A and B are shown apart, each in its own frame.
Chain A
Amino acid sequence: MQDKIEKLREKALKLIEDVKSSEELERARVSLLGKKGEITGLIRSIGKLPPEERPLAGKLLNALKREVEEKIEEKRKTLPKVRKVKIDTSIPGRRPKTGALHPLTRIEEEIVDIFMRMGFSVEYGPEIETDYYNFTALNTPEHHPARDLHDTFYLEDGNLLRTHTSPVQIRVMEKKKPPLRIISPGRAYRFDPFDPSHSPVFHQVEGLWVDRDVSFSDLKGTLEAFGKELFGKETRIKLVPHYFPFTEPSAEVHLSCPFCKEKGCRVCKYTGWVEIAGCGMVHPEVLRGVGIDPYQWTGFAFGMGVERIAMLRYGIDDIRNFYENDLRFIEGLR
């Protein structure tokens, strides 16, 4: 036994002597003092010796264990310092779960933020509307041909689903007196079956500014500032004469195509411009209807399509993406 111990001692000291790195030292430690190490094994085998040999063997082995431990510690100090356990840094990290806002919410927020910075407050209105607020009060009485442009969802109780966010104009002007500078984001509905550019449900941001001397020029400047904020400094805005019963003069708002910078591409149908909103000066009939004198106060209004803007912003070519709610779509755009 003594021999065995002595041989092991020599082997162990040599082993430690030859070590070149912390890893090797650790391996040497385990091979000697680990659970299955050689010294540990000998210590465990003491029980099998005849009882009279046990004290000596125990003494020698403990001495050896101590000596080896000391040598290892000594050696460790001479080796370059490295972390005890090396980790595999290539294993993917523990990622916290994150969700995402729907792209329409994000665009709507951006739009709202821009107009709030321009001094507009935010108002909200009901989605189930009366014929009066959706049409009549907006200078579109029954039998007005412009009603044909709105394929309306009706409820059995005689109300309807608003076809635009413009009724909020009326509701706000009924409650509050000018000066008024508001926007109103919200959902609207039209009886248009789903196709790449139509959805029965869509979102708009309505704008209204009524004051002593708000002009068509202010309308143009405000929308231009908005376009530049949302799509970048080079963006241009073009107002094209159009017709809406509740504004006059009325215009369609065309934005220089953010994809081709007016050179012409598929998105803008090779015109260099894309339509994003309708706008105009609030029609005197609308102002009179809410008790505002149209020669004392003037104002402008606009309504822009949130989906349309989101599609231009993210390069989406099919409006249905917004309503299928494929989580990969929402995740991909966050």
Chain B
Amino acid sequence: MKLPVEWLEEWVELPQDFVDVLDNLGIGVEGYGDGVLDLEITPNRPDLLSVIGIAREIAGKTGKPLKKNIEAVFPVRNVFPVEVEDKEGCPRYTLGLIKGVKVGPSPEWMARRLELAGINPINNVVDATNYVMLELGQPLHPFDREKIKGKIVVRRARDGEKITTLDGVERELNPEILVIADAERPVALAGIMGAEDSGIDEETRDVLLESAYFDPIRVRRGRKILNISTEASYRFERGGDVYVVPVALRRALELIREVAGGEVVEGMEDTLPEPEGRKPVKISVSFGKRLLGIEIKDEDVKDWLEPFGFRVEDGKVIPPRWRRDIHEEVDVWEEVARIYGYERVPSSVRVISSEPVYDNGKILRQAKRVLSGLGLFEVYPIPFMNPEDVAFLPEEDERRKGRRLKNPMWPEKNVMRTTLIPGLLSVARYNLNHQIRDIRIFEAGKVFLSEERIKIAGLFVGEEKKTWYSGRKYDFYDVKGAVEEFLTLMRIPFELRDEKDPLFDEGTCLGVWVNERCYGYLGEIKRELVERYEIEHAYGFELDASLLELREPEEFVPLPRFPHIKRDLSFLVPAGKRCEDVLRVIREATYLERVEVIDIYRGKNIPEGYTSMTFSCVFRHPERTLTDDEVEHEVQEIIRKLEDEGIELRRL
């Protein structure tokens, strides 16, 4: 809200540090230039959307009274017929009359203040109502009496009824919307905006002036349906002040007379001449002390609150009529804290907790650290997905049906992601566009299927940075090795099996199995998907993070006490046989401790169609030293078994 300082000064004496005073009272000063304050008013304080509201706060804090006091109202008498059909939607309606005005431009001082406050001057009658709205916080609406047929009725709109509002837009109404009507048609949207054909123009002589209290929810509902927001609706939907309604009416009528001439009819229609008083709120000082953690003496509450218009007596607080936000005890203590000053509240630190502290996300945090230690960069793609990215998946695949957004930020990314892979591909694309060729990335985040699930996914694209010792293109074995090492470091007893998943190329896809359940896949990402990101090859994995819960406890393994014997064996593996076929046989050997694949070779000296594979086998007996003969026996056994399978030892 913009507020000219000179206007405020007309109402209250400003202390030197009034900007800090306002800040400390929770009235955020967002700007203060050219004599205009830009204030942030929170939705609970509609009373502060006015000069008088701000002035009251400053007066309360400095203890100096307001310079002005506007309280006078007109007596109730018949001015013009008023009927309120919807009493809930409009608890109080007042109407006044001024005759013989001369519509024209506003005087300079008024137009200027309105402009500084961000409101365009229109004509002296409308401007006077806006002026009073800014001054007292009560929106008012002037009608040209000649254009109102017979009476004013406050009622719900009828289905299909139409109105052309002051902004020139024709709007179709429905019974959710509260309107002001005359005997024939709606003449205003209650609390929102008037109709074009009932408003003030140069010809207007007599003005009917409305000042009312409308139900905040009703105003809000109406303006949401019609999708408009005005200075009036902004105030009404935050809650008006039922008591100020007739005060503002009289003040505005007198101001119109001042700036537009005419004769004010000394009286008004009023549908609620005696509104109920504010209900007292019971408080307990000991609760206040507990809640705020400050020392409060019984008389303090009275001393602190009364300058702000509260009345405090016998453990009860009666809020001022304009404070619509004070209903229960805690509202009073907030007020006390605000007036006391948050900056004066002492700081207390209590760190010991009687309960054990837990974090179920600890393993996931560790997993992320392990992956980054393995050379991968963690990325945070936006979790919205283009459904076209997964359109190639089979009909029954649940990843194809992402949960759809009603209001997507980007029209094509209109579902929540069901897999992390497209997001990683988009990150790869972004980096390729920035001449980064070495892409090793991962993400641990949620996918949104029928339930939210945490996935861990990674991607290798491009090639290692070129140095004198590196520069390889990434391939299948990079992603396989990364997953193997990751799961090993996380102590997850896994097994990789040839598998098919439609997100991965057939034949280069492995399933990650733990305890006879598949937790995800690794391999080359399907061409249909990577091509959408103009990427040739991408190798990735996607695992369900629930597999982290299957980690094995750390276990001490005693160091070996006896020496091992190592044998390197090369085999000619024919097409149709795989590394695994050899490993399986080697692993059957007694005393075998471990086996490594140390060389894979095709080409010179190797018959066409064969691959030479060299295995380094380590044998060890846990309780004694093995003899060469024992090992030789095992080696021969391996060679014999493999020969049976058509895999020959490569003799050098």
Q: Known: A122-B361, A216-B345, A240-B26. Is A179-B355 also a contact (CB below 8 A)?
A: yes
Distance between Cα atoms of A241 and B42 in the complex (Å): 10
- Chain A residues lying within 8 Å of B160, measured Cβ to Cβ, are none
Contact A216 B292 (CB under 8 A): yes
Partner of A326, one of B338, B349, B431: B431
Which B residue sits closest to A252, measured CB to CB? B28
Determine how close the nearest CB of chain A comes to the CB of B452; give it in whole angstroms: 5
Contact B350 A156 (CB under 8 A): no
- Chain B residues lying within 8 Å of A326, measured Cβ to Cβ, are 430-431, 434, 436
Contact A181 B330 (CB under 8 A): no
Determine how close the nearest CB of chain A comes to the CB of B522; give it in whole angstroms: 17
A231 beta carbon closer than 8 Å to chain B: no
Interface code B448-469, partner A: CB below 8 Å = 1, 0 otherwise? 1000100000000000100111
Contact A120 B357 (CB under 8 A): yes
B302 beta carbon closer than 8 Å to chain A: no
Q: Known: A100-B372, A104-B380, A222-B349. Is A240-B28 also a contact (CB below 8 A)?
A: yes
Partner of A325, one of B342, B348, B373, B427: B427
A133 beta carbon closer than 8 Å to chain B: no
A330 beta carbon closer than 8 Å to chain B: yes
Q: Which of B69-77, B438-446, B598-606, B634-642 contacts A (4 or more CB under 8 A)?
A: B438-446
Interface code A167-201, partner B: CB below 8 Å = 1, 0 otherwise? 00000000000010100010100010100000011
Which A residue sits closest to B409, measured CB to CB? A200
Determine how close the nearest CB of chain A comes to the CB of B518; give it in whole angstroms: 25
Contact A327 B382 (CB under 8 A): no
- Chain A residues lying within 8 Å of B217, measured Cβ to Cβ, are 143
- Chain A residues lying within 8 Å of B221, measured Cβ to Cβ, are 143
Distance between Cα atoms of A266 and B445 in the complex (Å): 34
Contact B334 A101 (CB under 8 A): no
Partner of B355, one of A92, A117, A181: A181
Contact B381 A323 (CB under 8 A): yes
- Chain B residues lying within 8 Å of A157, measured Cβ to Cβ, are 403-404
Q: Known: A94-B469, A124-B360. Is A225-B349 also a contact (CB below 8 A)?
A: yes
Contact B430 A325 (CB under 8 A): yes
- Chain B residues lying within 8 Å of A143, measured Cβ to Cβ, are 216-217, 220-221, 237
Distance between Cα atoms of A49 and B547 in the complex (Å): 79
Contact B24 A241 (CB under 8 A): yes
Distance between Cα atoms of A298 and B345 in the complex (Å): 17
Contact B439 A181 (CB under 8 A): no
Contact A127 B381 (CB under 8 A): no
Partner of A181, one of B353, B360, B431: B353
Partner of A283, one of B330, B346, B469: B330
Q: Known: A146-B43, A240-B24. Is A248-B330 also a contact (CB below 8 A)?
A: yes
Partner of B294, one of A102, A159, A217: A217
Distance between Cα atoms of A154 and B23 in the complex (Å): 35
Distance between Cα atoms of A191 and B409 in the complex (Å): 7
A116 beta carbon closer than 8 Å to chain B: yes
Q: Which of B83-91, B128-136, B363-371, B553-561 contacts A (4 or more CB under 8 A)?
A: B363-371
A97 beta carbon closer than 8 Å to chain B: yes
Contact A325 B380 (CB under 8 A): yes
Q: Known: A104-B380, A249-B333, A249-B334. Is A241-B26 also a contact (CB below 8 A)?
A: yes
B563 beta carbon closer than 8 Å to chain A: no
Determine how close the nearest CB of chain B comes to the CB of A199; give it in whole angstroms: 9
Contact A221 B342 (CB under 8 A): no
Which B residue sits closest to A284, measured CB to CB? B330
Q: Known: A193-B409, A220-B348. Is A155-B237 also a contact (CB below 8 A)?
A: no
Which A residue sits closest to B356, measured CB to CB? A121
Partner of A112, one of B329, B359, B442, B445: B359
Which A residue sits closest to B443, measured CB to CB? A102
A224 beta carbon closer than 8 Å to chain B: yes
Distance between Cα atoms of A322 and B403 in the complex (Å): 25
Contact A217 B348 (CB under 8 A): yes
Partner of A97, one of B357, B383, B431, B440: B440
Contact A240 B23 (CB under 8 A): yes
Which B residue sits closest to A280, measured CB to CB? B334
Determine how close the nearest CB of chain A comes to the CB of B481; give it in whole angstroms: 12
Q: Known: A128-B416, A284-B328, A331-B377. Is A218-B345 also a contact (CB below 8 A)?
A: no
- Chain A residues lying within 8 Å of B467, measured Cβ to Cβ, are 92
B537 beta carbon closer than 8 Å to chain A: no
Which B residue sits closest to A223, measured CB to CB? B347
A105 beta carbon closer than 8 Å to chain B: yes
Distance between Cα atoms of A123 and B355 in the complex (Å): 14
Which A residue sits closest to B351, measured CB to CB? A118
- Chain B residues lying within 8 Å of A96, measured Cβ to Cβ, are 375
Distance between Cα atoms of A324 and B293 in the complex (Å): 45
- Chain B residues lying within 8 Å of A104, measured Cβ to Cβ, are 380
- Chain A residues lying within 8 Å of B360, measured Cβ to Cβ, are 122-124
Contact A215 B348 (CB under 8 A): yes
Partner of B368, one of A105, A241, A243: A105
Partner of B403, one of A105, A155, A242: A155
A251 beta carbon closer than 8 Å to chain B: yes
B562 beta carbon closer than 8 Å to chain A: no
- Chain A residues lying within 8 Å of B44, measured Cβ to Cβ, are 243, 245
Q: Known: A221-B347, A250-B334. Is A155-B405 also a contact (CB below 8 A)?
A: yes
Which A residue sits closest to B446, measured CB to CB? A127
B227 beta carbon closer than 8 Å to chain A: no
Distance between Cα atoms of A281 and B345 in the complex (Å): 14
Distance between Cα atoms of A325 and B425 in the complex (Å): 11
Q: Known: A119-B352, A154-B405. Is A187-B383 also a contact (CB below 8 A)?
A: yes
Partner of A154, one of B216, B345, B348, B406: B406
A328 beta carbon closer than 8 Å to chain B: yes
Distance between Cα atoms of A26 and B371 in the complex (Å): 48
Determine how close the nearest CB of chain B comes to the CB of A184; give it in whole angstroms: 10
Distance between Cα atoms of A144 and B404 in the complex (Å): 26
Determine how close the nearest CB of chain A comes to the CB of B510; give it in whole angstroms: 22
Q: Known: A121-B358, A220-B345. Is A101-B369 also a contact (CB below 8 A)?
A: yes
A295 beta carbon closer than 8 Å to chain B: yes
- Chain B residues lying within 8 Å of A240, measured Cβ to Cβ, are 23-24, 26, 28, 342
- Chain A residues lying within 8 Å of B333, measured Cβ to Cβ, are 248-249
Distance between Cα atoms of A242 and B30 in the complex (Å): 14
- Chain B residues lying within 8 Å of A97, measured Cβ to Cβ, are 374-375, 440, 464
Distance between Cα atoms of A143 and B221 in the complex (Å): 7
B477 beta carbon closer than 8 Å to chain A: no
Contact A238 B343 (CB under 8 A): yes
Contact A248 B380 (CB under 8 A): no
A239 beta carbon closer than 8 Å to chain B: yes
B287 beta carbon closer than 8 Å to chain A: yes
- Most chain-A CB neighbours within 10 Å: which of B287, B333, B359, B407? B359
Distance between Cα atoms of A284 and B439 in the complex (Å): 51
Distance between Cα atoms of A217 and B337 in the complex (Å): 11
Determine how close the nearest CB of chain A comes to the CB of B425; give it in whole angstroms: 12
Contact B23 A330 (CB under 8 A): no
Contact B353 A153 (CB under 8 A): no
Contact A327 B293 (CB under 8 A): no
Distance between Cα atoms of A101 and B287 in the complex (Å): 46
A24 beta carbon closer than 8 Å to chain B: no
- Chain A residues lying within 8 Å of B351, measured Cβ to Cβ, are 117-119, 225
Sampled A-B contacts (8; CB under 8 Å) = A98-B372, A102-B379, A124-B360, A200-B382, A216-B291, A216-B293, A221-B350, A243-B43
B residues lining the A interface (CB < 8 Å)? 23-26, 28, 42-45, 216-217, 220-221, 237-238, 287, 290-294, 328-331, 333-334, 337-338, 342-343, 345-355, 357-361, 365, 368-369, 371-383, 403-409, 416, 427, 430-431, 434, 436, 439-442, 445-446, 448, 452, 464, 467-469
Query: Which 5 A-B residue pairings sit nearest by Cβ, starting from the closest?
Result: A217-B293, A241-B26, A119-B353, A215-B293, A243-B42
